[in-house]
Chains A and B, each alone.
Chain A
Amino acid sequence: AQKITQTQPGMFVQEKEAVTLDCTYDTSDQSYGLFWYKQPSSGEMIFLIYQGSYDEQNATEGRYSLNFQKARKSANLVISASQLGDSAMYFCAMREGGGGFKTIFGAGTRLFVKA
């Protein structure tokens, strides 16, 4: 069965520093997609970054990068130069390949950015 594990319930980071949010996954599929979403206290889910299982390079989107280690089944999110507005809940998610419907989410990590 597919599973996403986020082992950090909460993380603190100083403003302007980098932070890594951990995510490990388990699947028997060869084709899958990994996503990170941000959820501020207002509730909306904001897509941040995507990594495909066949992508050889780590994904980057502005201050977000994904440290993809396929053999270890990990897909950690790195946020560089943290800003106060980065304080939010962050979810790692996996979608089955082949145009599959279902996306499963990890339990989330709440990030607190300190001024």
Chain B
Amino acid sequence: DAMVIQNPRYQVTQFGKPVTLSCSQTLNHNVMYWYQQKSSQAPKLLFHYYDKDFNNEADTPDNFQSRRPNTSFCFLDIRSPGLGDAAMYLCATSSWGNSNQPQHFGDGTRLSIL
């Protein structure tokens, strides 16, 4: 089945130690998103890629970066994680031009900071 896969499911890192979360998709969607979701809150969009075009949300901290080396993969890099960055990180995909289609989400990576 076509899907969005996030690895790892759980990630523990130390305060200030860089960490990378990965997302892959077999849907061939041209748009990929990264969301941050804290407990009992709505997902907050960090950025998205439309093909290779990177679009950062205005309030996304500089500490968060992303890479999309090809259509299938997208990475979230947190350069110096702080305690406030502990959250669930959700990757999603969609196909531009089909606004009646939902975003497809991965199962998320739950990030803990020690």
Question: Which residues of A come within 8 Å of B, CB atoms?
Answer: 31-33, 35, 37, 42-47, 50, 52, 89, 91, 95-103, 105-108, 110
A102 to B33, CA, bound (A): 9
Which chain B residues lie closer than 8 Å to A89 at the CB level? 40
B107 touches A44 (CB 8 A): yes
Which chain B residues lie closer than 8 Å to A97 at the CB level? 99
A99 touches B97 (CB 8 A): yes
A44 to B4, CA, bound (A): 11
Which chain B residues lie closer than 8 Å to A35 at the CB level? 102-103
Question: Which residues of B come within 8 Å of A, CB atoms?
Answer: 31, 33, 40-43, 45, 48, 50, 55, 88, 90, 92, 94, 96-108, 110
Given contacts A43-B107, A43-B110, A44-B106, contact A102 B45 (CB under 8 A): yes
Which chain B residues lie closer than 8 Å to A31 at the CB level? 99
Query: Min CB distance, B6 to chain A, in Å?
Result: 9
Query: Min CB distance, A47 to chain B, in Å?
Result: 4
B55 touches A101 (CB 8 A): yes
Query: Min CB distance, B49 to chain A, in Å?
Result: 10
Which chain A residues lie closer than 8 Å to B43 at the CB level? 45, 91, 105
Which chain B residues lie closer than 8 Å to A44 at the CB level? 105-108
Which chain A residues lie closer than 8 Å to B50 at the CB level? 101
Which chain A residues lie closer than 8 Å to B104 at the CB level? 47
A101 touches B31 (CB 8 A): yes
Most buried by A among B105, B106, B110: B105
A107 to B43, CA, bound (A): 9
Closest B residue by C-beta to A32: B99
Which chain A residues lie closer than 8 Å to B102 at the CB level? 35, 37, 47, 50
Q: Can you name 5 A-B pairs with beta carbons within 8 Å? A: A44-B105, A45-B103, A47-B104, A99-B97, A99-B99
